[in-house]
Amino acid sequence: DTGVSQNPRHKITKRGQNVTFRCDPISEHNRLYWYRQTLGQGPEFLTYFQNEAQLEKSRLLSDRFSAERPKGSFSTLEIQRTEQGDSAMYLCAREGQAPGGELFFGEGSRLTVL
């Protein structure tokens, strides 16, 4: 158990619909990361939070994407007006004890856009 819970595990949606993913880390007030992984590729950084502050967003995160972490606990990633290219696994990770050290990943939320 990595102490990171993600919901839903799978989401199938039609193009143009909005989807929201939720990440619940076991510990609060440390860094939380979102990554996207497409088939056959490694995870790509999307964004990260230090407590409730979103400190960096990747260029991959278009204006259709928004992430929040209210109160520095759980986080949500919303994709508006989904496109087929958004189909991927969305991974959430929490930082371990040491900054810049290991990350603990959730099982991911797989999105399929039809």
Partner 1 sequence: SQQGEEDPQALSIQEGENATMNCSYKTSINNLQWYRQNSGRGLVHLILIRSNEREKHSGRLRVTLDTSKKSSSLLITASRAADTASYFCATAGDYKLSFGAGTTVTVRA
Binding site residues, partner 1, CB under 8 A: 2, 4, 31, 33, 35, 40-45, 48, 55-56, 91, 93, 99-108, 110
Which is closer to partner 1, CB of 45 or CB of 74?
Answer: 45
Q: CA–CA separation, 53 vs 110, rounded Å?
A: 25
Cα separation values, 87 from 57, 79, 94, 103, 106, Å: 19, 11, 23, 23, 18
CB of 30 to partner 1, least distance (A): 12
Which is closer to partner 1, CB of 5 or CB of 80?
Answer: 5
* Length of the chain measured in residues: 114
CB of 62 to partner 1, least distance (A): 16
